[in-house]
Chain A
Amino acid sequence: SQTIHQWPATLVQPVGSPLSLECTVEGTSNPNLYWYRQAAGRGLQLLFYSVGIGQISSEVPQNLSASRPQDRQFILSSKKLLLSDSGFYLCAWSLSRNEQFFGPGTRLTVL
């Protein structure tokens, strides 16, 4: 069966510091991968999605970036965090079928 991992689970970072969040999927090949952010009390905002290695589509202009160095690995990065980057970051995967499945998430607090 498929499993999706995210780490770290929680992170507290100062403004201006860099960020790297990692997501890996097990038990499947060539998945579509997604990064979402959920601000407190808000809905899910799609940040990036990828249909293959090195293929990244950005949905919202911001100071974040994403990379997919391997088939089942998706990384979210920032060079300098802003206060507004705080939130719950969720990675998800899907195959050619429609359903998306979410990882456990990373809760980021920027102080």
Chain B
Amino acid sequence: QKEVEQNSGPLSVPEGAIASLNCTYSDRGSQSFFWYRQYSGKSPELIMFIYSNGDKEDGRFTAQLNKASQYVSLLIRDSQPSDSATYLCAVKYGNKLVFGAGTILRVKS
């Protein structure tokens, strides 16, 4: 059973702060990891992917991967109210993605 675990939240941060979202996965052989953002009532939107250990930065977003600890995280710098959404972590197994249940992020102005 391939599992992806996320804290459901909600995670509340003030505007301008760093939001840190975390995800753990069960299969040590996993190679590809994704973060999606889902606004209420909308479909998921891919925001980051990471394949190698370490950090990957894209604008205000940084994905961090630690394969030894089976841990992947997403940092959002200078959080904005428009970042308020559910963030889904996904891990690739073969042709398929297994999703976590998502973490609700609320950015308060």
- In the bound complex, CA of A107 to CA of B45 (Å): 17
Q: Are A100 and B97 interface neighbours, CB within 8 A?
A: yes
Q: Are A43 and B44 interface neighbours, CB within 8 A?
A: no
From B32, B45, B100, B101, give the contact of A98 (CB < 8 A): B32
Chain A hits for B51, CB < 8 A: 98
Interface size class of B (residues with CB under 8 A): 20 to 34
Of B10-18, B59-67, B68-76, B88-96, which stretch is located at the interface?
A: B88-96
Chain A hits for B49, CB < 8 A: 98-99
* A7 in contact (CB, < 8 A): no
B-binding residues in A (CB < 8 A): 32, 34, 42-44, 46, 49, 51, 59, 90, 98-105, 107
Q: Are A102 and B43 interface neighbours, CB within 8 A?
A: yes
Q: Are B95 and A43 interface neighbours, CB within 8 A?
A: no
Chain B hits for A99, CB < 8 A: 34, 46, 49
Q: Are B43 and A90 interface neighbours, CB within 8 A?
A: yes
- In the bound complex, CA of A80 to CA of B76 (Å): 44
Q: Are A90 and B44 interface neighbours, CB within 8 A?
A: yes
A44-B44, A103-B43, A105-B43 known; A98 and B96 CB under 8 Å? no
